[in-house]
Amino acid sequence: MAIQPQRMNEQEHRAIISVCILAAFADGAQDDVERAQIQRIVNGFSEEQLDLTSAYQDVLEGKLSLTQIAAQLQAPSAKALAYEMAVCACHADGVSNDPEKQFLADLRQALQLDGPVADIQQQTAQALVEQPLASPAPPAIMDEGREVEIDRMILNAAILNGALEIMPHSLATMAIIPV
């Protein structure tokens, strides 16, 4: 018999969002990439209407500490998700720096997560960020014969339009426009 994962409640979703906000500010600043990452996480909880603004206010005003937020997460799946989302927020703007690494270590301790599982998540995120971007495809090389053909077609159309212009104005307009 398979064990059904517990469904997270609104309090746990809000706690995960609060953890992500703390993670985004761990390096002392938050940029647009981190804000966008947090918004994607909020959108992932589609069945609920979470108030992102009040979560930001609570975190930024210091109403919630990391230990208070971690205490709101009871289910192991909620704790694991909170850690994963925090790793995503820390890596959203590139390779994590020392303050972000320290935050993730503190979060792991507050959530009482198993070390190897959290290490794997951290290493995976780090590897994805460090992976070089695929180089863009080289520009299409135009065949010299094709270029000559296109030039000839343009020249022929120009000659035809010039010849049609000699016709009376109303007939020329009717013939030039389709060409």
Position 1 confidence tier, pLDDT thresholds 50, 70, 90:
very low
Q: What is the pTM for the complete model shown? A: 0.60
What is the rounded average pLDDT for all residues in the chain? 74
SS (H, E, C) 59-111: HHCCCCCHHHHHHCCCCHHHHHHHHHHHHHHHHCCCCCCHHHHHHHHHHHHHH
**Residue 122: predicted pLDDT:** 60
pLDDT of the residue at 18: 86
Residue 91 has pLDDT above 50, yes or no: yes
Token pair in block for residue 151: 């030039």
CA 144 to chain centroid: 42
DSSP labels, 18-70: HHHHHHHTTTS---HHHHHHHHHHHHHSTTS---HHHHHHHHHTT---HHHHH
CA distance 86 to 21: 8
pLDDT value of position 169: 64
Tokens representing 105 are 């270590």
Question: Above 80 in pLDDT, residue 83?
Answer: yes
- What dihedral do alpha carbons 21, 26, 29, 34 form, nearest 10°? -50
pLDDT tens digit sequence for 51-69? 778 888 888 888 888 888 8
Tens digit of each residue's pLDDT (9 = 90 or more) over 107-150:
888 888 776 656 665 666 555 545 554 555 555 566 677 888 88
pLDDT value at residue 11? 81
Tell the residue number behind the tokens 């230990």, with chain if given. 67
